[in-house]
A and B are shown apart, each in its own frame.
Chain A
Amino acid sequence: MRLTLFKIKEFFIEKLIFLCGLACIFFVLLIFVFLLKEGISLFHTVTPVQFLTGKNWYPISDPAQLEILPLILGSLWVTLGAAIISIPIGVACAIYIAEVAHPKLKELLKTGIELLAAIPSVVLGFIGMVTLVPWVKSVFNLPTGLTALSGSIMLAFMAMPTIVSVAEDALYSIPKSYKEGSLALGATHWQTIYRVLVPAASSGIVAAVMLGIGRVIGETMAVMMITGNAALMPHSILQPVRTLTATIAAEMGEAVVGSEHYFALFAVGIVLFVISFAINVTADSFLHKKR
């Protein structure tokens, strides 16, 4: 009697957890279907090729020109810049925390990095606007400091916590015997780090980098405040750019529901979704590669 009661309970709890697990996938699917449904409507009036490769973004003109190549390139420039800045610093920081730092310092550093992750992006954007933008302007002697570079530097701060914590986990989970073996063979601490530990943790480090980049490409508020939002074809990182995310955020309020502009913003959303999905899948495949 008691046993069956337990079995019934077990059964329900199992099913409940199963449903919760499915819910996540279900929501992602719903969001994707909605995005697709709204975005696809755009292609009645604009061909996908024109949408992706045209150079003019004038959404409220009549007729509107809805071509997002400058926006895609804008996002890519900012992301590339942020990656170049944050990857070396982030990975080096992870190595220091995992291998070199004194245990007490290690705790302090980890807390600091978690704090960095906790700063809201709008605050970072605001700080960037009043400190970084004038600095970039005067250092590079530019007509304006609202450039892709300013965005990259600020976003590097946002990607760093992700990169450091995931890479540090990867380094930490290497079996102790690797390190011991290497040291026993007479290698120095540094040789052990860059010849044994980093290669052993490489898949985890790549995943960390990809996740950091994923965070950068989806970031909106800070880039909207400090990249200038000019939809021109970027030729250098010292030019203003307009990113995909900032475009959606800045224009959604104006777009009349059901208009061409509205569908175009959803199509921009699809492009973003595809990019970040690709990044996440790549990260995932690296994470599971060596297991």
Chain B
Amino acid sequence: MFKKWVITFVLGTFINSTGWAKDSNSIQIKGSDTMVNLSQAWAEKFMEKNPNDFIAVTGGGSGTGISSLISGTCDIANSSREIKAKEIALAQKRGVNPYEIKVGLDGLAVVVHPSNSVSQLTLQQLADIFTGKISNWKEVGGKDLKIVLLSREVNSGTHVYFKEHVLRKGDPASKEEFSPGALMLSSSQALADEVAGNSGAIGYYGMGYISPKQKPVSIAKDAKSPYISPKIENVTNGKYPISRPLFIYTNGIPNGSVKKFADFMLSKEGQEIVLQTDFVPIKK
């Protein structure tokens, strides 16, 4: 008798819970660490207006997000890099059709410890620093201090973007790599903390993470060009040399509540949130 009652109860809750999930339109978002704060801000505002929708946001890196989209464990993948041809091929093999929506822009800030006297670098110097050709701050006009390279892990879209556009300067034939001595940190926050506490460190992350504890470096395309600081207006007008688009990927053209949410991101209000979280809106 008791056993029967327990089984009914368990089955009942199980069925109820699946029913509940359908009613309330839950959306799973996974991917880029750079975009977590932005996504979370969108989700909060959106849920305020649509109390029936539930949105869960997790990070993990762009690669992780896209892998999850391919294996069907998330509805929206945040990515701070374009999807790779390899990933598209794999997705199609599994019956997933990644659909790309550009939702904002991000400037990649290169940061050093506030006590560091170096405040501007050219792209070439930056590449030489991160590949290990320059290993002391005095070679770029700073103190006699060993440079500590900080990088994100390989599952980070920021890592991939930085390698392709700074180390390799966008040249697909280039073979430049991060110096093997570069420390690999698993999150942008960990990287920010390490820069804040280490006077010889240099690292990179999305502009949103800049705080008074780190000093952003101005970057010039080459020695003749002006040095540009990572500010929103410089990314919007295209002057800042290391900026990138931010994407979301869905399985096929979005519909239902995913579409509603994607439309919200691109709406005036959504793009306002982009600006508030220190990214750069795509629409004015």
Contacts and interface: CB of A to CB of B under 8 A. Distances in A.
Nearest to A56: B180
Contact of A253 (B64, B145, B160, B179): B64
Contacts of A57: 180
Interface string B193-234: 010011011000000000000000000000000000000000
B153 A229 contact: yes
A60 B87 CA distance: 13
Interface residues of B, number: 34
B177 A58 contact: yes
Q: Which of A56, A253, A255 has the most CB of B within 10 A?
A: A253
Interface in A32-82: 56-61, 70
Nearest to A57: B180
| B interface, over-half SS | mixed
Interface string B153-190: 11100001000000000000001010111111110001
B186 A250 contact: yes
Given A253-B63, A259-B86, A59 B181 contact: no
A262 to B, nearest CB: 10
Contact of B61 (A224, A225, A254, A259): A254
A256 interface: yes
Contact of A230 (B64, B160, B175, B184): B184
B153 to A, nearest CB: 5
B181 A240 contact: yes
Contact of A251 (B154, B185, B190, B194): B154
Contacts of B180: 56-57, 70, 230-233
B124 interface: no
A218 interface: no
B183 A256 contact: no
A56 B67 CA distance: 25
A151 to B, nearest CB: 13
Given A143-B148, A228-B184, A250 B194 contact: no
B138 interface: no
B90 interface: yes
A144 interface: yes
Contacts of A60: 154, 160
B146 interface: yes
Interface of B: 60-61, 63-64, 67, 70-71, 86-87, 90, 145-148, 153-155, 160, 175, 177, 179-186, 190, 194, 197-198, 200-201
A-B residue pairs, 8 tightest by C-beta: A254-B155, A254-B63, A253-B64, A229-B184, A232-B180, A228-B183, A143-B148, A143-B146
Given A240-B183, A250-B154, A253-B64, 8 more contacts: A129-B190, A228-B183, A229-B186, A230-B183, A231-B184, A251-B154, A254-B64, A254-B155
